[in-house]
Amino acid sequence: MANRKQYMVTVTDGSERPRVSDGFRLNPVGQWTEAPGFDNSYNPRFGLGIYGQHPEAGGYISSENTVPELLEIDGPMDILTDRQVKAGRVKRIAVGDLNVPEMPREWFELNLSDCTGLRGIPDEMEVGVLDLCRCIKLKIFPKGLVARKLYLDKCLGLEYLAERLHCNRAYIIDCINLRELPEDMQVYKELVVIGCDIEIPKGIVESQLANLHDRNLPG
């Protein structure tokens, strides 16, 4: 049986051949890029590499770039910490819009904060921690999202959250264009809503509302 394909999410400037943190450039979408000095048959810990988040090791994002990209990984990868991986040979699959069939649906943690170039993520995702803070171009929220923790801060493109949203904890702050939450939304432990003029679904009980304010804009 063929091995399951591996994918990672990195952040670039979204150009045709963006430069990665180790200084070299990725090839255009659909083409493979091999990091200089990388030995695909040996160990990705040696030589240069491409860094990013993997479904089993995500959460770390450190870049001035703002466009998330989905990369297919060929060969071994090095799990540097529980929040980041390094690969030596990758192919760019999607730029900006991660709502593609190849995008993994299950993540331990996925941090897309400050990814102002993010335009979409798939439906039916299960994520331990999902951070979408300041993803201002995200206009369509995924259906059927299940998250242990969900962070939405200044997501100015969102007017609605999609149906079948289940969270242990959800933090929704200064999403000033958000008009309503889905009636079937389930929050099991804590819901924080600040700076949003929205109605809380009837299924959310008072004990789950850790901090609920009406529209509370600076100035």
Q: Are residues 92 and 142 in the same domain?
A: no
What is the structure's pLDDT at 3? 65
Closest CA to 125 of 140, 109, 105: 105
What is the structure's pLDDT at 24? 83
| pLDDT tens digits for range 29-77 | 999 998 887 655 545 555 678 889 999 999 988 778 899 999 999 988 8
Which residue type, as a one-letter code, is found at position 95? V
132 in a structural domain: yes
SS3 81: strand
Q: Are residues 133 and 186 in the same domain?
A: yes
Sheet containing 84-87: give its strands across: 50-52, 84-87, 77-81
What is the structure's pLDDT at 216? 38
Structural domain containing residue 160? 123-219
Which of 62, 97, 132 terminates a domain? The answer is 97
Structure tokens at 137: 């171009």
Residue 83 near residue 59 (C-beta atoms within 8 A):
yes
Q: Are residues 152 and 218 in the same domain?
A: yes
113 in a structural domain: no
Confidence of residue 146 (pLDDT cuts 50, 70, 90): very high
Closest CA to 178 of 219, 148, 118, 135: 135
Bridge pairing between strands 106-111 and 126-131 = parallel
Structure tokens at 153: 């801060």
pTM over the 0.85 mark: yes
Strand runs labelled E in the chain:
6-12, 32-34, 50-52, 67-73, 77-81, 84-87, 89-95, 106-111, 126-131, 146-153, 166-173, 186-194, 209-212
106 in a structural domain: no
129 in a structural domain: yes
| pLDDT tens digits for range 66-119 | 999 999 999 888 888 778 898 889 999 999 999 999 999 999 999 999 999 999
Q: Are residues 66 and 128 in the same domain?
A: no
35 in a structural domain: yes
Confidence of residue 219 (pLDDT cuts 50, 70, 90): very low
- Residue 145 Cα distances to 100, 124, 163, 164, angstroms: 16, 5, 8, 7
What is the structure's pLDDT at 48? 74
Q: How many helices (H) and strands (E) does the chain have?
A: 0, 13
Residue 99 near residue 118 (C-beta atoms within 8 A):
no
